[in-house]
Structure 1
Amino acid sequence: MSQSGTWVKRIVDSRFFKEAMEKSEELFSQNKVGLLSLLRRALKKVQETASSSNLTVVKLLNRYIILFSELIKAYVQGSYTKLPLITLVKITAALLYFVMPFDFIPDFLPLVGFADDLAIVVWVGKAIKEELDEFEKHL
Structure 2
Amino acid sequence: MSKQANLIDRIVSSPFFEKAMVKAESVMANDKMGLLRIVQHSLKKVSELAAQSNLTVVRLLNHYVLLFSEMIKAYVQGRYKKLPAVTLVKIVAVLFYFVSPFDFIPDVLPLIGFTDDLALVLWVGKSIKHELDEFEKHANV
**TM value normalised by structure 2:** 0.97
Cα displacement (A) at 1:104: 0.3
Q: Which one-letter code corresponds to 1:20 in the other structure?
A: A
Name the CA distance, whole Å, in 2 between partners of 1:134 and 1:33.
Answer: 24
User: What is the number of residues matched between the two proteins?
Assistant: 139
- Say whether residues 1:9 and 2:9 are aligned partners: yes
Cα displacement (A) at 1:58: 0.3
Cα displacement (A) at 1:31: 0.5
Name the CA distance, whole Å, in 2 between partners of 1:37 and 1:134.
Answer: 24
Q: Which one-letter code corresponds to 2:118 in the other structure?
A: L
Which residue number in structure 2 is paired with residue 50 of structure 1? 50
What's the % identity of the aligned pairs?
63
- Name stretches of at least 5 consecutive residues in structure 1 with no aligned partner: none
Cα displacement (A) at 1:90: 0.1
Name the CA distance, whole Å, in 1 between partners of 2:130 and 2:35.
Answer: 23
- Name stretches of at least 5 consecutive residues in structure 2 with no aligned partner: none
- Off by >2 Å, runs of 4+ in structure 1: none
Cα displacement (A) at 1:96: 0.4
Q: Which one-letter code corresponds to 1:3 in the other structure?
A: K
CA RMSD of aligned residues (A): 0.6
Which residue number in structure 2 is paired with residue 61 of structure 1? 61
The DSSP-based 3-state class of the residue aligned with 1:54 is coil
Map 1:110-129 → 2, pairs under 5 A: 110-129=110-129
Map 1:87-102 → 2, pairs under 5 A: 87-102=87-102
Q: Which one-letter code corresponds to 1:108 in the other structure?
A: V
Name the CA distance, whole Å, in 2 between partners of 1:31 and 1:60.
Answer: 29
The DSSP-based 3-state class of the residue aligned with 1:113 is helix
- Per-residue CA deviations over 1:73-98 (Å, capped at 9, x if unaligned) read 10011100101100000000010000
Cα displacement (A) at 1:4: 1.2
Cα displacement (A) at 1:117: 0.4
Name the CA distance, whole Å, in 2 between partners of 1:103 and 1:2.
Answer: 22
Which residue number in structure 2 is paired with residue 137 of structure 1? 137
Name the CA distance, whole Å, in 2 between partners of 1:6 and 1:38.
Answer: 27
